[in-house]
Amino acid sequence: MDIVDCTTEAEMNDLSDPRPPLPEWVLNAYDVVCAHSHNSNSQEDVQSIPRKQALEVLHSADELALESEDANHALTRLLERGYFYEVDGELRVTMPED
């Protein structure tokens, strides 16, 4: 399994964005999901994880111990902020442009 180098909050933050930064526990959820992502079946250079598996990982991760609703909320926030994008039930890691 390839491990993706996840983007940090500072790299994803747009200084013109008026929204407050994501809470630390949501960013921790991002790191955990990224650590369990792999190359997408359809695109080798894209790291991904099925949404259902991401929820299971967040629910079972000892360092987070998120309840189902919290895990779902974290994924929703990460999708809304562009950390992931979803294609056919698969969460793909958004890679910053160089």
Measured N-to-C along each axis, helices 24-35 and 51-60 cross at an angle, to the nearest 10 degrees, of 120
Q: What is the pLDDT of residues 23-69, one digit of tens each?
A: 999 999 999 999 999 876 655 678 899 999 999 999 998 888 899 99
Q: What is the pLDDT of residues 64-98, one digit of tens each?
A: 889 999 999 999 999 999 999 999 999 999 877 65
Maximum Cα–Cα distance across the chain: 37
Q: Which CATH architecture has domain 20-93?
A: Orthogonal Bundle (1.10)
Q: What is the mean pLDDT of residues 13-29?
A: 79
Q: Return the pLDDT at 42.
A: 59
**Secondary structure of the chain: what % helix, strand, coil (to 5)?**
40, 15, 45
Q: Return the pLDDT at 19.
A: 65
Q: Return the pLDDT at 8.
A: 46
CA angle 83, 19, 90 (to 5 degrees): 20
Q: What letter does residue 22 receive in the DSSP assignment?
A: P
